[in-house]
Amino acid sequence: VKLQAWGTPPEPPTREPSDRPQLAADDASDSTSSIPEIDPVYSCLACRFPIFKSCEIISSNYRAQTSAGYLLSAARNVRVAETVQSATYTTGRYEVQEVACEACSAVLGVRYCGASDARNQYKVGKFLVGRDRLRLPPGTTHPMDKAKAKA
């Protein structure tokens, strides 16, 4: 199963130099407030292909198989295995499918496709991706890595 990649962003409108708005001296300090922030992108560690944006992180208080992890609402540029496997984690039993980078086939984590306990049903359809499989955006540290550094 192949998940859809992000679309190509539209080209910004171009203006002739004479069409550019002029800032008053008082407005100069606020000139960056109208610039939208770009949502940081997390990428595959092996090939740097973009996998998810920070707005898709539901929780970083998760443990993947080999490291701290992220529970995600969505992932892009990944392949989800058709094979469903049974897995037992600290919170219960689940049916999961392996998730790999579409570009290089590196295994990134799993997608929950079933949960035996009703209180874990909210995870179904979500992704669990290991921190050790990702290249984090510059200046970003996983909260569990921060806790380890303080200890």
- In whole angstroms, give the CA distance from residue 72 to residue 45: 17
Going by C-alpha positions, the residue among 59, 42, 60 that lies closest to residue 51 is 42
- In whole angstroms, give the CA distance from residue 129 to residue 14: 39
Token pair for 62:
């998760």
- Using a cut of 0.75, tell me whether the model's pTM lies above it: no
- In whole angstroms, give the CA distance from residue 78 to residue 107: 9
- In whole angstroms, give the CA distance from residue 147 to residue 151: 6
Token pair for 66:
């080999």
User: For residue 50, which phi and psi values (nearest 5 degrees)?
Assistant: -65, 135
Token pair for 72:
């995600």
Q: What is the pLDDT along the chain (151 residues), one digit of tens a residue?
A: 555 454 434 344 444 444 434 434 444 444 444 445 588 999 999 999 999 999 999 999 998 888 999 999 999 999 999 999 999 988 999 999 999 999 999 999 999 999 999 999 999 999 999 999 999 998 888 877 766 666 5
> What single letter denotes the amino acid at residue 137?
P
